[in-house]
Amino acid sequence: MKHISINEERLLERLQELGRTGCEDGKRSRVALSDADKQGRDVVTQWMNDAGLDVRVDRIGNLFGLYGELSPEGPDPVFIGSHIDSVIDAGMYDGCYGVLSALEVVQTLKEAGCAPKRPLVVAAFTNEEGVRYAPDMMGSLVYAGGFGIDEALAVIGTDGSVLGEELERIGYAGPEEPGFLKPHAYVELHVEQGPVLDAEGIQIGAVENLQGISWQRVTIGGVANHAGTTPMRMRKDAGRAAAEVIRFVGDRADAPGSTSVATVGCIEFEPNAINVIPSRAVFTVDLRNPDDAKMYADEEALAGFLEELSRERGVTISTERLVRFEPVAFDQGIVAKIEAIAKEHGLSVRRMTSGAGHDAQMMARICPTAMIFVPSKDGISHNPAEFTPAPDLIAGARVLLDLIHQLADEE
Ligand code: HGY
Ligand code: MN
Ligand code: MN
């Protein structure tokens, strides 16, 4: 392929600029469908327009920048994407790096006058994080047909808002039907968000699979009582029972030989007063494993523990399933291409599993899919200290450029 290279400064500057949206009191929270998310969406839409792409929005708010001739009888497009919504107090690379690198690659090919056989689509999917509205990876899940659009629009957020109303409010309730374009392939470039590449000093991850994700909300009902007068044997302490669950899931994941991970990320007590024994505890459990049977065994073990705890502590316990995504294997052909291209660039590369969920997990349901990782310093992510050095960012985008050029010229 004639020598084409990305505009490195433009990519790095856009990352910084997008990273400045959604910042308040020194914290970056571009939570799905918030004003901050709108701010980020408006900036990316502008850059897609500046690049001369045909900007489309679908009914769940997925944002697409199209390049090339799209027609029903023509070749299916190659999708390149990720997300720009973030967790609370987030870093600036998670998702944004993938969307902006996708835009950079397509803009570079367009500016070089390349007219690949296949059209190209830059995608920024709605609500990948699932922090405000479960499930996570929602926009790509709807796009892939795994979640009905009407059901998604009716989802109630952790703040009591209705997803569809918020989408209207920020002006991103688009006309296109989710799935309106059938992808020939989907590629997602992302920071690893884990410690593997950084610890091993490897520049590129050729991601061949992604672990399963199980999210549930647990509600424990106890009895409010005086923290001073109530004898320990008479207490029905929902807070103490919640603490035992947190300990249980952590110890099980920590057990020798375990390949599971687990955490309780959100918890609320009622009445939440220093001198009142909690009458209620509501919290979330996030369990993950690359092997579905092992994730299932973890879920069953937790269910058994909750039953026993309820009897022992005299509390009521109920659970609500929020998400269960099975592990996903990516397309070996694309993974091999990623490896080969990285080596051509003189980059160190290794195959690996993704510990985090990604839109690629959903797109793999409808087309050949794979991911490219670049290192996360000290493996930190979902944290403002998230960092990837510029040379690594550029290396990943260069691999993406060559991969997309190959995929876009496939028969
Ligand atoms: O939860 C995840 O792994 C992703 O960041 N949504
Ligand atoms: Mn992400
Ligand atoms: Mn994330």
User: Confidence class of residue 378 from pLDDT cuts 50, 70 and 90?
Assistant: very high
| pLDDT score at 191 | 98
C-beta of 136 in contact with ligand 1 (< 6 A) = yes
Mean pLDDT over each residue of the chain, to the nearest integer: 97
Q: Hey, whose CA ends up nearest to atom 4 of ligand 1?
A: 357
Per cent of the chain over pLDDT 90 is 97
Please measure the distance between the N-terminal and C-terminal CA atoms of the chain and give it in whole angstroms: 16
Pocket test for ligand 1, best of 191, 358, 373, 383 (most atoms within 8 A of CB): 358
- Centre of ligand 1 to C-alpha 296, Å, is 19
Q: Is 130 left (phi over 0), alpha (psi -120 to 50) or beta?
A: left
User: Confidence class of residue 348 from pLDDT cuts 50, 70 and 90?
Assistant: very high
User: Which ligand 1 atom lies nearest to the CA of residue 136?
Assistant: 6
- Centre of ligand 2 to C-alpha 357, Å, is 7
Indicate the range of 25-29, 142-146, 147-151 predicted with least confidence.
25-29
Q: Which residue has the tokens 């397509």?
A: 106
Residues lying with their CB under 5 A of ligand 3, a single-atom ion: 94
For the segment 77-106, what is each residue's pLDDT rounded down to a tens digit?
999 999 999 999 999 999 999 999 999 999
User: Which ligand 1 atom lies nearest to the CA of residue 357?
Assistant: 3
Instruction: Classify residue 403 as exposed, middle or buried by CB count within 10 Å of its CB (0-12, 13-18, 19+).
Output: buried
Superfamily grouping for domain 8-211+327-408: Zn peptidases (3.40.630.10)
| pLDDT score at 411 | 84
Residue 47 makes CB contacts below 8 A (sequence gap 6+) with 14, 100, 103
Helix (H) or strand (E) holding 71: none
Pocket test for ligand 1, best of 128, 216, 284, 382 (most atoms within 8 A of CB): 128
- Centre of ligand 1 to C-alpha 328, Å, is 14
Q: Which residue has the tokens 């005086």?
A: 226
C-beta of 356 in contact with ligand 1 (< 6 A) = yes
Is residue 204 scored above 60 in pLDDT? yes
**Cis previous bond, 271, omega within 30:** yes
| pLDDT score at 259 | 97
Rounded to whole angstroms, the Cα distance separating 151 from 244 reads: 34
For the segment 164-195, what is each residue's pLDDT rounded down to a tens digit?
999 999 999 999 999 999 999 999 999 999 99
Rounded to whole angstroms, the Cα distance separating 203 from 37 reads: 30
- Centre of ligand 3 to C-alpha 83, Å, is 9
Q: Hey, whose CA ends up nearest to atom 6 of ligand 1?
A: 129
User: What are the residues facing 317 on neighbouring strands?
Assistant: 220
Pocket test for ligand 1, best of 137, 380, 382 (most atoms within 8 A of CB): 137
What's the full length of the chain, in residues?
Answer: 411
Read off the pTM: 0.94
Give the domain 212-325 fold.
Alpha-Beta Plaits (3.30.70)
Secondary structure class of 118 (helix, strand, coil): coil
Q: Where are the domains of the chain?
A: 8-211+327-408, 212-325
Six token digits for residue 135 = 């499930």
Is residue 251 scored above 90 in pLDDT? yes
Closest to 199 measured CA to CA, from 375, 395, 342, 346: 375
C-beta of 91 in contact with ligand 1 (< 6 A) = no
User: Confidence class of residue 2 from pLDDT cuts 50, 70 and 90?
Assistant: low
Residue 30 sits at φ, ψ, to 5 deg, of -100, 65
Rounded to whole angstroms, the Cα distance separating 50 from 37 reads: 20
Question: Angle of helix 8-20 relative to helix 96-111, nearest 10 degrees?
Answer: 140
Pocket test for ligand 1, best of 82, 129, 325 (most atoms within 8 A of CB): 129
Is residue 1 scored above 60 in pLDDT? no
